[in-house]
Amino acid sequence: MVFYPQERIGLFIDGSNLYAAARTLNFDIDYKRLLELFADNGHLIRAFYYTALVDDQEYSPIRPLVDWLDYNGYTMVTKPTKEFTDASGRRKIKGNMDIELAIDVMEMADHLDHVVLFSGDGDFRRLVEAVQRHGVRVTVVSTVRSQPPMVADELRRRQADNFLDLQDLQPDIERILANRDDRHPLPNGNIMPHDADADPDILESA
């Protein structure tokens, strides 16, 4: 990891994108360890986590994670999903958070030295370029060790200052469940289930 102790760091996590990458690599993320990893490598200013929520569901599988993150050092940015029917008549749910993420990155740029973007979406290339013009370094976190790779080549090779493969971070951020009690507690005293960060399969990110 190419970080400096005096750097002001901001984390911007595309929740569905990061979840998909971790699932492809077959491990679960311990978000407390993730936060500590970057706090140990610089001056962590803010950690944003972006996800869309299905409001009309009685229970959302991602809600326990959202609640836990909100109480444990993350700035949560959520919005309701939108339902639509595709050309085949199938019900789809769209939950794109790109605009929210881009606005926050630009607003925070003058207060940061280093942006860490957890997404491999090539649409963020122009955002990265704009932030770099403010003198901010940008590290992209995703993976090329999946088939197909989860990160766009134009983002990883042609724009980002650094690229971190999620698999290389696995030893430092993987959730390890030694026993049933070794799980994140929720604010209400319950335990966050092992699959609490699962996104609904019908959720579309684009």
Which CATH number goes with the domain that contains 101? 3.40.50.1010
In a domain, 164, yes or no: yes
Q: How many domains does the chain have?
A: 1
**Cα separation values, 54 from 14, 51, 75, 78, 174, Å:** 17, 10, 19, 10, 27
Whole-structure pTM over 0.85, yes or no? no
In a domain, 2, yes or no: no
In a domain, 175, yes or no: yes
In a domain, 42, yes or no: yes
Q: Write down the pLDDT at residue 81.
A: 74
**Cα separation values, 24 from 115, 141, 143, 144, 205, Å:** 24, 14, 9, 11, 16
In a domain, 3, yes or no: no
Q: Per-residue pLDDT tens, the chain, 206 aa: give them.
A: 789 999 999 999 999 999 999 999 999 999 999 999 999 999 999 999 999 887 665 566 778 899 999 999 999 999 887 665 667 777 655 568 899 999 999 999 999 999 999 999 999 999 999 999 999 999 999 999 998 999 999 999 899 999 999 999 999 999 987 654 444 544 433 444 433 444 433 344 43
In a domain, 110, yes or no: yes
In a domain, 24, yes or no: yes
Domain span including residue 182: 8-204
Strand-by-strand arrangement of the 114-118 sheet: 75-80, 43-53, 8-14, 114-118, 137-142, 162-165
